[in-house]
Structure 1
Amino acid sequence: MYSASSAFLDALVEAGVSYIFANLGSDHPALVEAIAEARAAGRPIPEVITCPNEMVGLSAAHGFWQASGVAQAVVVHVECGTQALAGAVHNAAKGRAPVLIFAGASPFTQHGELRGSRNEFIQWIQDVHDQRGLVRGYMRYDAELRTGRNVKEIVHRALQFANSDPKGPVYLMGAREVMEEEVRPLPDDRAAWRPIEPAALPPRGVAVIGAALLGAKRPLVVTSFVGRNPAAVAPLVALCRRLGIGVLDSVPNAMNFPHDDPLYQGNQWNQPRQNPVLAEADVILVVDSDVPWIPTVSKPAEGARILHIDIDPLKQQMPLWHIAAEGVFRADAETALQQIHGWLDGQAIDAASVRERTAHYAGLHAARAEALAALEQRPAGAVTAEYLVGRLRALAGTDALFLNEGISHYHTVFDHLAPTRPGSIVTSGGGSLGWNGGAAIGIKLARPDATVIALTGDGSYMFTVPSSVHWMARRYQAPFLQVIFNNRGWKSPKLSTLAVHPDGFAARANQLDTSFEPAPDYVGIAAAAGGAWGRQIRDAAEVDDALAEALRVVRQERRCAVLDVWLEHH
């Protein structure tokens, strides 16, 4: 029988979906049967990845897209599985990761009227008023499959939303009776469901931005995620070198600009200080940034001209958001940057001004590099995060792809990895912790020849559900190195509290309920769940040998490695 579930699988194949990250339940008999029938018949379907935890599955789909640019599918169980997607839904939405989530639904008949009618007690308990509403605020599109006759149409429409800017997750649900419905196969019409073409700047906007950059004394680009599209990095680099424009990363989610370029001015996260480069800029071009600065601690100078290019410049999911931009443009960064280059081709560029700007920023860049190098000196005794990341940069090799969920060490990772290759480092783009484990699996599936290295705090390591992560990594041959920055607790809540109450009771307290002592055996968890190799490191003298062995295990033995690196107590 060719069912609605068969049509669902065919639509995924047509859309280029390679994997279904699945956590199956009592609402999926039709899908399980359709998968088995397709395998028996030799009909192509996406590979099914069994995910013991739903959040890990969605994080894996998120990571696969980050490494490949191709949206994948996640299948979960009714409203319970939908809720168990947890913070990964937030991360996919904020990280603009296209992924199709399909959840079953309790049957809508109870007397055997249709195939799939209710036959288990749980189907009354799991029938809720608004299952789609659980995640609607995070989705680019949501719909219920109500007949098998248009399943392919709905799947393609959902993915058209997911893959159109601003990209993001989409959610479909379908009851058992609908997914069991017998239908006739429909032709492949994927060509009719292409995503919206990238938006361009209006001609006036190109001229306004180009003229402002040409006439500036201290032009500055601020970005967070232009590098999510690796093809956008080259035109940004070319523009900045062409005009002598400095580049500041604010809460970077990718390698947006080569860190070894003299125009690169570093990255700012939650550091409670005014950024001097931001303060001296007279023209600021914000390109693809959700948080270009935090005005309570760091902001542009009064009178600075601000121009803003973004695929979502209104930040429609953020109730409170504003920068004082005189020009706001909804446009794709790669397209917009190429347009600005085209406009500059017809303009006279003052070479002396470009040299002066470049020299100014190069001097600041060199001073910053010298300060960072000093922090990477090997300490006597306990490991520092700066030394650890510096050695990892030196030993990892050119094929490494890094995931950064270092939390209070986010900036340290970017500073001392100093990435230069587009696509070589990613973050979740969101604020829900636990993304790195599942995402590392997805990235390894998408890039099997890459050395995948996940950098995580000890708190975010536990949020990853490591028992599920390392079981999946072993079963699906997706080995990666996971480095834990272990400060034995949640450092970020402590820093947040002290930033607001520097002289309060918390500042004088002996403990703030953020400790993870006695420390769990993080290596033991990964070894028990997935046969991972691991080692705990407490002295800087151990770092090089441990990193070398971990990388050998991942590359040659093709199994996961976990390094539990003890840093100064939080």
Structure 2
Amino acid sequence: MAIQYKNTAHALLHLLHLRGIRVFLANPGTDLTSLVDAYEERRGSGEPVPKGLLIPHEAPLAAMAYGYFLGRANPCVLFLHASIGPMNALGIVMTAKRRRVPMILISGSMPKSERSRFLPVQWAQDIGDGLPPLKDFLKWSYELGDPQELEAAFDRAFSLAMTDPKGPVCLILPPEVLIAGPIRTAFRTEPLFCLPRTSPDPTKLRQLAEMLKEASLPILITSSLGREPEAVEALVRLSDLASLGVVSFVPEYMNFPIRHPLHLGFSPDRVLRLSDLIIVCDCDVPWIPSRAGPKDTARLVHVGEDPLYSDLKLRGFPSHLAISGPTCKVLSELCEILTAMELNSQKVEERRLFLRSIHEEVFDRHVEVARKTLDHSPLKPAFVSSVLCELLQRDSFLVNEYDNSIAPYLDLPPGHYFCSPHTGYLGWAFGVSLGLKLARPEGEVVATMGDGSYLFSVPSCCHYVSFAFDLPILIVVFNNRGYGAVRRATRLVYRSPGQGIEFSLCNFEKDLAYEKICQAFSGYGERVDRPEVLRPRLERALEILRTEKRQVLMNVVCEE
């Protein structure tokens, strides 16, 4: 049945409700005044409308949208003001594109006619469609010209964002279009489009099964297989069936249980030259060519939604076989084929014993590293990480943005650990954790990050959001008083000149009391600078988080 709406802004808000959008994030500008007005008018009259949250800066806003998807597997809608808004969100949008996280950006634009402009910024911020810096990292963008096409445009945005490989899209709504009305239209109760699904090539799957059957030492390297939590279970089945060793290289998710005897650690260097079959599964960079590489006779197989990573400008890792399709489906069907085959049980068992010895060696070393550093001051990141992991609940969520060696100690289920993406955009974790908490309010969310990442996250904005919208999380700042990654990279490239040098361009001049920023937003903050107080203070922090339901920040002073 057709309904008459006051203008396009009213129609849009009702359409969001019909599409199951229950919350949206916004940082509107003067180009979205009709949306601001429509939201208040519809709320005041009792019309169905999603809950809107005002996020004071676009970088945390976009990071929250990222985290919201991680928690609910549904894309988030973001309202950004024209030009400047998308630019501020650019780093997170780039990360979402590379890491296949969907989000729906709705951006305003400057009024097309000078007669419609009423502020100087509407001339200075006019950069055409408002998206030039952003377009390389969008799957799709479109400027709406006719209000009657609103439903088709939004449903296309939603469908393309959620079609594999997923990613961000942008719908541009000029103020002249948003304010146009009245309009009369009949929205469907269901989206216009059915999402396509791909299936792996059965011939290629049988090829891979034969290769696994004949291989002497097959391994699988992944960094983001855990994007699909179900794929982790499928990988465990495959590993058990074929004695397939698994390397979780620079992991962005929980990809494989750390206690599994065929988990070979977090670097492929040890086993790369030993393996005659290497399966690269959901991994953009499976090894660092300047450091290690497979032997010439090894067979290389790439698996995933886009196994050759077509969005990367340069990627020279060879493949003898490429299988595209949802990872869980690929691995599950591979298990079925292998089960029907007659595998050499003696060879499989001998391989299992050999790989298990590597697993024990690797993880015993991590335990020893944490044990050796328990009395070290300043604190060692590995020791801090090991203690924190002991205190987490089994169903906690952890978002990590620091090279703190936390992965070897972290025994969380699939879908509960998220690590900074390879794009390296600093300031990712705080906003992502808030979005995750928004999606999973019942869950315990912990964010770990360096002090550089914390400063990049627009911390005052993030602490405000936690306080204003009742999103309590624990933030652990690994405070090494500077940019540790840049220090390490400089020493790696310029090893001899770097010895004993402070690298002043990597160091913060003052030791900052980050805990006081959290306190300013009614949170609890504490400094930790001695190993003997680490455990009791982390225990107190988690107790406050769990009982008082307010944000907590631990400023942990670590080795530079």
TM-score category of the 2 structures, normalised to the smaller one:
over 0.9
Amino acid at match of 1:214: K
Separation in structure 1 between the aligned mates of residue 170 and residue 287 of structure 2, nearest angstrom: 32
Pick the aligned partner of 1:44 from 36, 45, 48.
48
Query: SS where residue 454 of structure 1 aligns?
Result: strand
Counterpart secondary structure, 1:541: helix
- Give distance in 2, aligned partners of 1:512 and 1:120: 44
Deviations 1:304-356 (A, max 9, x none): 11111121223222111021110112211011112112212321122212211
SS in 2 for 1:78: coil
For the pair 1:560 / 2:554, whether they are aligned, the reply is no
1:248 is paired with a residue whose SS is strand
Separation in 2, partners of 1:193, 1:169? 17
Counterparts in 2 of 1:118 and 1:380: CA distance versus 1, 3 Å: closer
**Retained in 1: the 8 A contact 2:104–2:169?**
yes
* Cα pair 2:478 2:556 within 8 Å, conserved: yes
Structure 1 residues 206-215 or 185-194, which shifts more? 185-194
1:515 aligns with 2:501: no
Determine the structure 2 residue equivalent to 1:204.
203
State which drifts further: 274-283 or 156-165.
274-283
- Return closer, same or farther for 1:509/1:375 CA change in 2, 3 Å cut-off: closer
Residue in structure 2 matching 1:277, options 266, 271, 276: 271
Counterpart residue type for residue 161 of structure 2 = A
- Matching residue's letter, 2:121: I
- Quickly say closer, same or farther: Cα 1:314–1:367, change in 2 above 3 A: closer
Q: Deviation of residue 119 (structure 1)?
A: 2.3
SS in 2 for 1:133: coil
1:564 partner amino acid? N
Which AA in structure 2 matches 1:37?
E
Residue of structure 2 equivalent to 1:540: 531
C-alpha deviation, 1:17, in angstroms: 2.4
Distance 1:190 1:145 in 2: 21
The aligned counterpart of 1:114 is none
Higher mean C-alpha deviation, range 438-447 or range 43-52:
43-52
Cα distance change on mapping 1:522 and 1:284 into 2, 3 Å = same
**Displacement of 1:564 after TM fit?**
0.7
Residue 317 of structure 1 aligns with which residue? 311
Secondary structure class of the residue paired with 1:10: helix
TM-score by length of 2: 0.96
2:357 aligned partner, one-letter code:
G
Q: Secondary structure at the match of 1:253?
A: coil
Partner of 1:331: 325
Alpha-carbon distance in 2 for matches of 1:77, 1:554:
34
How far apart are residue 300 of structure 1 and its match?
A: 1.5
Pairing 1:387–2:380 present: no
Counterpart AA for 1:73: V
2:362 corresponding residue in structure 1: 368
CA drift at 1:289? 0.8
Q: Distance in 2 between matches of 1:325 and 1:512?
A: 43
Could you tell me which residue of structure 2 aligns to residue 454 of structure 1? Answer: 447
1:326–1:561 CA distance, 2 compared to 1 (3 A): same
Q: Deviations over 1:209-243 (max 9, x none)?
A: 11111111111011111111111111111011011
Distance in 2, matches of 1:301 and 1:86, equals 40
Query: Which sections of structure 2, spanning at least 5 residues, go unmatched?
Result: none
Do 1:259 and 1:420's aligned partners in 2 also have CA atoms closer than 8 Å? no
Matches within 5 A, 1:255-270: 255-268=254-267
Cα gap change, 1:401 to 1:420, in 2 (>3 Å): closer
Alignment of 1:457-472 (within 5 A): 457-472=450-465
Find the counterpart in structure 1 of residue 436 from structure 2: 443
In structure 1, list runs of 5 or more residues that go unmatched. 112-116, 269-273
SS of the aligned residue for 1:28 comes to: helix
Counterpart of 2:358, as a letter, is L
Decide which of 404, 407, 413 is 2:400's aligned counterpart.
404
* Cα distance, 1:37 vs structure 2: 2.4
Alpha carbons 1:132, 1:143 under 8 Å: kept: no
In 2, Cα distance between equivalents of 1:2 and 1:241? 61
Q: Please list the CA deviations of residues 480-509 of structure 1 after superposition, one character each: whole Å capped at 9, or x if unmatched.
A: 0011111111111121122222123x4464
Secondary structure of the structure 2 residue equivalent to 1:293: coil
Aligned partners of 1:70 and 1:363: how far apart in 2?
A: 41
- Please state how far the C-alpha of 1:16 moved relative to its aligned partner: 2.9
Q: Which residue of 1 aligns with 2:224?
A: 225
Q: CA deviation at 1:186?
A: 2.1
Q: Supply the distance in 1 between the matched residues of 2:543 and 2:156 (Cα, whole angstroms).
A: 45
> Once the 2 structures are TM-superposed, how far is the Cα of residue 278 of structure 1 from its aligned partner?
2.0
1:512-537 Cα distance to aligned partner (Å, 9 max, x none): 41111212221112221x21111111
Determine whether 1:103 maps to 2:107.
yes
Mean CA deviation greater in 321-330 or 434-443: 321-330
Q: What's 1:531 paired with?
A: 522
1:394 partner amino acid: E
Which residue identity lines up with residue 509 of structure 2 in the other structure?
A: E
CA deviation after TM superposition for structure 1 residue 189, in Å: 4.9
Structure 1 residues 509 and 383 mapped into 2: Cα distance closer, same or farther (>3 Å)?
closer
Q: Distance in 2 between matches of 1:189 and 1:286?
A: 41
Instruction: Report the 3-state secondary structure (helix = DSSP H, G, I; strand = E; otherwise coil) of the residue aligned with 1:193.
Output: coil
Query: Following the alignment from structure 2 to structure 1, what is the Cα–Cα distance between the partners of residues 377 and 431?
Result: 33
How far apart in 2 are the matches of 1:28 and 1:323? 46
- Counterpart of 1:10 (choices 7, 14, 29) is 14
TM-score normalised over the length of structure 1: 0.94
Using the alignment, how far apart are the partners of 2:429 and 2:292 within structure 1?
A: 29
Query: Following TM superposition, by how much is the alpha carbon of 1:104 offset from its aligned partner in structure 2, in angstroms?
Result: 0.7
Distance 1:138 1:470 in 2: 28
Alignment-derived partner of residue 165 in structure 2: 166
For residues 11-90 of structure 1, the aligned pairs below 5 Å read: 11-90=15-94
Partner-residue secondary structure (3-state), 2:34:
helix
Q: CA deviation at 1:25?
A: 1.1
Per the alignment, do residues 2 and 195 of structure 1 end up closer, same or farther by CA in structure 2, a change over 3 Å counting?
farther
Report the alpha carbon displacement of residue 290 of structure 1 after superposing the two structures with TM.
1.0
Aligned residues of 2:91 and 2:425 also touching (Cα < 8 A): yes
Task: Write the distance in 2 (CA, Å) between the matches of 1:380 and 1:33.
Answer: 58
C-alpha deviation, 1:191, in angstroms: 4.0
Query: Which residue is 1:343 aligned to?
Result: 337
2:487 is the alignment partner of 1:488? no
Aligned to 1:525, the other structure's residue is in SS state: helix
AA partner of residue 406 (structure 2): V
Q: Could you tell me how far apart the structure 2 residues matched to 1:185 and 1:521 are?
A: 56
Query: How far off its partner does 1:416 sit?
Result: 2.1
User: Which one is further off, 511-520 or 172-181?
Assistant: 511-520
Instruction: Give, in whole Å, the separation in 2 of the partners of 1:44 and 1:428.
Output: 37
| C-alpha RMSD of matched pairs (Å) | 1.5
Between the aligned residues of both structures, percent identity stands at: 29
